[in-house]
Amino acid sequence: DWTSDVFIDATVAELKAKIGDDKVVMGLSGGVDSSVAATLIHRAIGANLYCVFVDNGLLRKNEFEEVLHSYKDMGLNVIGVDAKQRFYDALAGISDPEAKRKAIGNAFIEVFDDEANKLEGVKWLGQGTIYPDVIESVSVKGPSATIKSHHNVGGLPDFMKLSVVEPLNTLFKDEVREVGRALDIPETIVGRHPFPGPGLAIRILGDITAEKVKTLQEVDYIFIQGLKDHGLYDQVWQAGAILLPIQSVGVMGDERTYEKVVALRAVGSVDGMTADWIHLPYEFLGKISNEIINRVKGVNRVVYDISSKPPATIEWE
Ligand code: XMP
């Protein structure tokens, strides 16, 4: 029978044998998967693991600073890189969802490669790939055409010439969380909702600007904080807000407004392959909607997404 302790002992031993005295470089995302994978590798090889955490300007409000702090507390050897402008430049004028993913993927590889090249003699690339990522990538490559180009599995650029080490690629998300808790990773990281690599870029329909990111960060923050304050966060598998590329008429005082619409999305799921929308309490939705409209400049309407996957997807892009 699978237990997290058995998994940890076996995996750490395996990693030690495989990696020996080599150096490993690894990109951290702030999510559960990369954090747990890094902690396992760190257990095995200690200071020979070099982590890079990139601020792509598409993270949630305050996330970069808070998560970087947690990583340091966990004893990881981590470099934080502010690459916000580089990503905004790479995304300028791009509206197509797959083109955004490609631009972000390429920018990430460039930034990461710059950092990796500063380190001498690195042989391995650590990755937080989990089992559903492997499955979904295989199906994405199948004849049914590209659904969404997830996760860059197998998509390593040749010039990096590193061997990949993926200690979690046989686990499901709930098992990753169990391992994370057994490794004493803070609950703020282990219990965190999944968040897509391209971040808020695929929740801003249309082109990306720093100003739109700021608006969506404020909306998302009110929603996520609200879920936490009302004890709902842990009942939801993933939640977030989407900034729509349309304006609608509203009224404030005796002024007519013509401003943005945001959609809120909260789903239940096991592995993201299928998902159901969550019946959040009306009182909660009403309160959050008021808070968003009153506090976030440029937003005058909030809608709630009641679509399930399939046929919708979790993300809007
Ligand atoms: P969809 O929208 O396909 O999302 O139902 C399923 C899960 O995958 C996440 N997602 C991504 N994660 N890169 C990622 O790392 C991506 O390009 C990407 N697209 C979707 C999504 O947040 C959900 O958890």
With a 6 Å cutoff on the Cβ, whether 272 touches ligand 1 is yes
Q: Considering only CA atoms, which of 182, 239, 159 is closest in space to residue 10? A: 182
Same domain, 32 and 75: yes
Residues making up the binding site for ATP: 29-35
pLDDT of residue 132: 84
Give the per-residue pLDDT at 161.
79
Instruction: Output the pLDDT for position 138.
Output: 65
> Is 49 within 8 Å of 28 (Cβ atoms)?
no
Q: Are residue 108 and residue 183 in the same domain, yes or no?
A: yes
Please report whether residue 215 resides in a domain.
yes
Whether 33 and 160 share a structural domain? yes
Inter-residue contact 291 to 222 (CB < 8 Å): yes
Neighbours of 142 (CB within 10 A): 10
Torsional sign, CA 187, 188, 194, 198: negative
CATH number of the domain to which 270 belongs = 3.30.300.10
pLDDT of amino acid 95: 98
Q: What is the pLDDT of residue 156?
A: 52
d(CA 227, CA 288): 9
CA 54/CA 83 separation, integer angstroms: 7
**Does 32 map to a domain?**
yes
Give the C-alpha distances (Å, rounded to integers) separating 107 from 88, 97, 118, 244: 10, 15, 17, 24
Judge whether 53 lies within some domain. yes
Task: Note the pTM of the prediction, 2 decimals.
Answer: 0.90
180 and 262 fall within a common domain = no
CATH number of the domain enclosing 59? 3.40.50.620
- Residue 234 domain-assigned (yes or no): yes
Residue 201 lies in a domain: no
pLDDT of residue 147: 45
Residues 185 and 222 in one domain: no
- What phi-psi label fits residue 17: left (phi over 0), alpha (psi between -120 and 50 degrees) or beta? alpha
Ligand 1 and 150: CB distance under 6 A: yes
Test site for ligand 1: of 238, 267, 314, most ligand atoms within 8 A of the Cβ: 314
- Residue whose Cα lies nearest atom 12 of ligand 1: it is 196
Give yes or no: residues 161 and 51 share one domain.
yes
Question: How far is Cα 134 from Cα 122, in angstroms, rounded to an integer?
Answer: 25
**Please, are residues 50 and 25 in contact by the beta-carbon 8 Å criterion?**
yes
Distance of CA 140 to the CA centre of its chain: 19
Is residue 111 in some structural domain? yes
The yes/no answer to whether this complex scores an ipTM above 0.90 is yes
Q: Which atom of ligand 1 is nearest to the CA of 316?
A: 2
146 and 293 share a domain?
A: no
Return the pLDDT at 315.
Answer: 98
Tokens 């200071």 belong to residue: 47
Q: Which domain holds residue 11?
A: 4-190
Q: Are 271 and 176 in contact (CB under 8 A)?
A: no
Q: With contact defined as beta carbons under 8 Å apart, do 200 and 59 qualify?
A: yes
Residue 196 near ligand 1, beta carbon < 6 Å: yes
Mean pLDDT by 10 residues, the chain (317 residues): 94 98 95 96 98 98 97 96 98 98 95 90 94 74 42 50 93 94 96 95 98 98 98 98 98 94 97 95 98 98 98 98
Strands 276-277 and 299-304: unpaired
Query: How many domains, in total, are found in the chain?
Result: 2
305 CA to centre of ligand 1 in angstroms: 16
**Interior angle at CA 285, CA 236 and CA 238, nearest 5:** 20
Q: Please state the length of the chain.
A: 317
In Å, how far are 191, 197, 200, 289, 313 from 173, measured between CA atoms? 11, 16, 21, 31, 18
